[in-house]
Amino acid sequence: MSLLFACQPVAKKEVKKPNILFIMADDHTSQAWGIYGGVLKDYVHVPNITRLADEGMVLNNCFCTNSICVPSRASILTGQYSHKNGVYMLRDKAKPDSMNIAKVLQRNGYQTAIVGKWHLKTQPQGFDFFKVLPGQGIYHNPMLKSKEDWVDGYKGGKEHKGFSTDVITDLTIDWLEKRDDSKPFMMMCHFKATHEPFDYPERYKDMYKDIEIPEPSTLYDFDPANTGRTFEGQQLENLGSRWEKASADPDKWWCKYPGLPFSTEGLDSIASRKKVYQKFVKDFMRCGAAIDDNIGRLLEYLDKQGLAENTIVVYTADQGYFLGEHGFFDKRMILEESLRMPFVVRYPKEIKGGTRNDDIILNIDFPVLFADLAGLDKPDGMQGRSFRENLKGNTPADWRKAMYYRYWEHAPVRPGHFGIRNQRYKLAFYYGQPMDKKSKQKPSEPQWEFYDLEKDPHELNNAYQEEQYASVIGEMKNELLSLRNELGDEDNKRPWIKDVVETNWLK
């Protein structure tokens, strides 16, 4: 009998798969997180982001592969660059039959849900539950669309009373309460904040009242020639002009800005930019404060339900954003403030609290990480790579040393460009051509920019023509060509761009 017993298969202890709570904001740039330092670090309200950093790991070099909302979100879902998943610009939409991480996890026993900003236009696929904003959505009393009331485009959905960030958290917690607790979950809680118009709840309307906020050192960079920058960019004056137009006729403007009316009439260029900056950054930080409140609510829920130990919590933003640096607002460009994605992750079972990682991590890596943490192989077709070992302090010897970036939505003030960034240097080629021959945007003069980020972290000196960097630039051009070839982004279907690249490569 003992022999018979010995031959019986040994029951394996079931490993409980971790839950995933993926919290993402829109444009909530690293300069407004406090934990990355900067001129705002003593002013931002971030106790819960700080808590996550103390209990988890902060990524110092996490980057977006195309810094604009719709393409970045598509890359985060598919693990693919824009040229692979077909989502290049704001106007593009997710293909319903395309692979994404929600589908992968759903097929492998996970409950999947997304609440809040979606922005990919077609109905979300791979989610057991969704309530998403139509397009950008609005901050106050937002409409959210579900399977039951879905209509393509900006229609459909039901109104939910309250401030958007609070409402999205309410709905997230409500779903968590009602889920099947015998299965692991992946919940994507995606806030509209801090996207323009940078609105905030009533509880924060007096925050920063009568306080002057410190300015970035490059706020008064009015002329690209001062730094060798080769494009004009989205300057703060454009934001001030939007406020003034909305003040004159708020019902005809595309969004509702807080704190109007606004005017810079009678002010010189310095005073005008200063006034725009102060309103802009205060609104942005008030908007961000509401995000932090709600991160706290989610963490408290996990604690009370005994879920914290086995739940991976990520907080990130879909890209970076200029908060007055170079005199800019908005994103899109390969410059650091736009390129960098703030990212913090907590998972007590594997990640040591209060740690940081300097490896180059990309948004296309996120879904591969989630699959790995769920015990799955890398999904077919994903171009990213799991950084699970990096989070444990065991960076693979063959981890990437450089990253590839491309912005497709060309306009002369923000030209189409691609580039490469490694731990010290950045090289960008502004080819200045629309990807669509039917575009009304005029081409711009092709230009190169190169920055030594160790000596020039604020990118104030385009050193492309400096002889001391000639060999470095040559090596980076070769690596850039290799990356474009390896990733399949060679513009073979866009000969007008390919011709510009080949003609200007050695200039």
Residues 440 and 380 in one domain: no
What tokens does 414 get?
């923000």
Which of 319, 297, 286 shows the shortest CA–CA distance to 21?
297
Residue 235 counted as domain residue: no
Do 464 and 315 lie in one domain? The reply is no
Domain coverage including residue 305:
19-202+286-400
Please tell me the predicted confidence (pLDDT) of residue 437: 86
| Shared-domain flag, residues 460 and 384 | no
Say if residue 304 is in the same domain as residue 435: no
3-state secondary structure 422-436: ECCEEEEEECCCCCC
Q: Are residues 31 and 90 in the same domain?
A: yes
Distance CA 396, CA 427 (A): 25
Please tell me whether residues 41 and 180 are part of one structural domain: yes
CATH code for the domain of 461: 3.30.1120
Unique residue bearing structure tokens 């669309």: 145
Q: Looking at 400, 433, 468, which one is the last position of a domain? A: 400
- CATH assignment of the domain containing 362: 3.40.720.10
CB atoms within 10 A of CB 132: 25
456 and 354 assigned to the same domain: no
Helix (H) or strand (E) holding 190: strand 185-190
Q: Please report, as a single letter, which amino acid is at residue 56.
A: G
pTM reported for the whole predicted model: 0.95
Tokens of 20: 């995933």
**Ordered alpha helix ranges (H), 328-443:** 336-339, 366-373, 388-391
Write out pLDDT tens, residues 8-64: 443 334 558 999 999 999 999 999 999 999 999 999 999 999 999 999 999 999 999
What would the pLDDT profile of 255-267 be if each residue is shown by its tens digit?
999 999 999 999 9
Q: Is 446 helix (H, G, I), strand (E, B) or coil?
A: coil
In a domain, 114, yes or no: yes
Instruction: Give CA–CA dist 30/321, Å, rounded.
Output: 8
Q: Is residue 98 part of a domain?
A: yes
The answer to whether residue 279 sits within a structural domain is no
**pLDDT at res. 103:** 98
- Of 400, 429, 464, the last residue of a domain is 400
Taking Cα atoms as reference points, which of 423, 484, 425 lies closest to residue 451? 425
Nearest of 98, 140, 95 to residue 122 by alpha carbon: 95
Which of 382, 400, 418 corresponds to the end of one domain? Answer: 400
| ∠ CA 57-58-62, rounded to 5° | 130
97 and 149 part of one domain: yes
Least Cα distance to 459 among 217, 269, 213 occurs for 217
Task: Let me know whether 314 and 457 are in one domain.
Answer: no
- CA 454: distance to chain centroid? 24
Instruction: Examine residue 78 and state whether it is found in any structural domain, yes or no.
Output: yes
In a 3-state reduction of DSSP, which class is residue 5? helix
DSSP 8-state symbol, 204: G
Q: What is the dihedral of CA 348, 352, 356, 362, to 10 degrees?
A: -50
d(CA 238, CA 250): 17
Check whether residue 428 and residue 362 sit in a common domain: no
Q: Is residue 116 part of a domain?
A: yes
Q: How many residues does the chain have?
A: 507
| Amino acid letter, residue 326 | H
pLDDT at 14: 52
Pair (484, 371) in one structural domain: no
Does a structural domain hold residue 498? yes
Number of domains in the chain: 2
pLDDT tens for each residue of the chain, 507 residues long: 333 333 344 333 455 899 999 999 999 999 999 999 999 999 999 999 999 999 999 999 999 999 999 999 999 999 999 999 999 999 999 999 999 999 999 999 999 999 999 999 999 999 999 999 999 999 999 999 999 999 988 888 999 999 999 999 999 999 999 999 999 999 999 999 999 999 999 999 999 999 999 999 999 999 998 889 999 999 999 999 999 999 999 888 889 999 999 999 999 999 999 999 999 999 999 999 999 999 999 999 999 999 999 999 999 999 999 999 999 999 999 999 999 999 999 999 999 999 999 999 999 999 999 999 999 999 999 999 999 999 999 999 999 999 999 999 999 999 999 999 999 999 999 999 999 988 999 999 999 999 999 999 999 999 999 999 999 999 999 999 999 999 999 999 999 999 999 999 998
User: Tokens 């982004």 appear where?
Assistant: 489
The SS3 of residue 499 is helix
Q: Is 65 within a domain?
A: yes
- How close are the terminal C-alpha atoms of the chain, in Å? 84
- Nearest 5°: the CA angle 433, 436, 441 is 55
The first and second tokens of residue 343, run together, are 């990212």
Q: Answer yes or no: do 352 and 500 share one domain.
A: no
